Amino acid sequence: MDRPAPPLPPTAYVVLGMLRLGAQSGYDIKQAVDISTRFFWSISEAQLYPTLADLEEKGLIEGRDAPRGKRKRRVYEVTPTGETALKRWLSREEALSFEVRDVAMLKLFFADAVDDDQGVALVAQMRTRSEATLEHLRPQLDSTFEETGDEDPPRFPGIALRLGIAVHESIIAALHDFEAELERRG
């Protein structure tokens, strides 16, 4: 009587996916997330380590202690069950939730309550923010991303990266227009 296993939270698939891409320890996963998926899915340590324990308990990953010197360390591998679970999730037809929480957009939306130059300042701040994001993303276009060895390097992380870059470029362009437009009136 296999009751259908309750679906895992997206965060669990991030862990599974990162291990599959070559990350070994929880620390590795955290590093990888912080330079890549964090722009559309962030994870904190307080989530990560319990998730690893949970996935191991469920048999989707297998861990073993692999200390470096006296520094404790635990490395994991994705089990066949875990591989299947990841693929099933990737293939599953479902609505794909997309949520944004952006305080800057909120302030922009309500900016009629304050002076126009405050609105201009806000737009400028948003532009700077996207420029900073681009400075994180652009250099990664070059980096080889070849954790798996080399035989069949993953291509989709690069696609996700390029999408992120395109979005922030368009944000910058639009904000640039708004700045001009608002200053014309001021």
Partner DNA sequence: CCTAACATGTAAACTGTTACATGATTCC
Partner DNA sequence: GGAATCATGTAACAGTTTACATGTTAGG
Binding site for a copy of itself (CB under 8 A): 10, 13-14, 17, 20-21, 36-37, 39-42, 83, 86-87, 89-91, 96-114, 118-119, 122, 125-126, 129, 154-157, 159-160, 162-163, 166-167, 169-171, 173-175, 178
| Residues with Cβ within 8 Å of residue 142, at least 6 apart in sequence | none
Distance CA 88, CA 90 (A): 5
Q: Is 53 or 111 the residue whose CB approaches a copy of itself more closely?
A: 111
Q: Is 53 or 121 the residue whose CB approaches a copy of itself more closely?
A: 121
Smallest separation (angstroms) from DNA to the CB of 102:
11
Take residue 39 and report the two structure tokens written for it.
């722009």
Take residue 35 and report the two structure tokens written for it.
């330079």
Binding of DNA by 139 (CB under 7 A): no
Smallest separation (angstroms) from a copy of itself to the CB of 177:
9
Take residue 76 and report the two structure tokens written for it.
């994991």
In this chain, which of 13, 18, 20, 26 binds DNA, going by CB under 7 A? 26
Distance CA 61, CA 80 (A): 9
Smallest separation (angstroms) from DNA to the CB of 82:
17
Q: Is 24 or 73 the residue whose CB approaches a copy of itself more closely?
A: 24
Q: Is 66 or 106 the residue whose CB approaches a copy of itself more closely?
A: 106
Binding of DNA by 17 (CB under 7 A): no
Q: Do residues 81 and 99 lie in contact, with contact meaning Cβ atoms separated by under 8 Å? A: no
Q: Is 64 or 155 the residue whose CB approaches DNA more closely?
A: 64
| DSSP secondary structure, 50-93, as one string | HHHHHHHHTTSEEEEE--BTTB--EEEEE-HHHHHHHHHHHH--
In this chain, which of 22, 25, 145, 174 binds DNA, going by CB under 7 A? 25
| Measured distance between the N- and C-terminal CA atoms of the chain, rounded to whole angstroms | 70
| Residues with Cβ within 8 Å of residue 58, at least 6 apart in sequence | 5
Residue numbers at the binding site for DNA (CB under 7 A): 9-11, 25-28, 30-31, 42-47, 49-50, 52-53, 68-75, 101
